[in-house]
Structure 1
Amino acid sequence: MNKDQVQGKAKEVAGKVQQKAGEMVDSKEQQVKGAAKQIDGTAQKSYGDAKEALKDR
């Protein structure tokens, strides 16, 4: 596991929390920011996964 995988997963989780909090307080802005953070985290995690796959070759 590398830092991109860990940081990416952390961003995904933080984004989900932010999105749910936005839903609870009825803030579309926070919901969108949370969704964007999830996408950013997913991309970073995928990059880390690719680096690991190449390292294992």
Structure 2
Amino acid sequence: MKKAMKILAEKMMARTHKAVKIYQLELQKKQDMTPARWNMLYGKYLPDMDEAI
């Protein structure tokens, strides 16, 4: 059980890390965004970020 939880956590961390990297690249491209567009970008790439934290 412990091993399964560890594997699940590692997969979630890898997925989250990848999503954050993509999100940061998109954010760098679009520096002059309105808060609404920034939130849309957050929702697109990081929907399960709160769950991961």
TM-score after normalising by structure 2: 0.54
- In the alignment, the residues of structure 1 paired with residue 18 and residue 9 of structure 2 have an alpha-carbon distance, to the nearest angstrom, of 14
Aligned length: 32
Counterpart for residue 12 of structure 2: 37
C-alpha displacement of 1:29: 0.5
Aligned pair partner of 1:49 in 18, 24, 27? 24
Counterpart for residue 35 of structure 2: none
**Structure 1 residue runs of 4+, over 6 Å off?**
none
- Alignment RMSD: 1.7
- In the alignment, the residues of structure 1 paired with residue 30 and residue 21 of structure 2 have an alpha-carbon distance, to the nearest angstrom, of 14
Structure 1 runs not aligned, ≥5 long = 1-25
TM-score after normalising by structure 1: 0.51
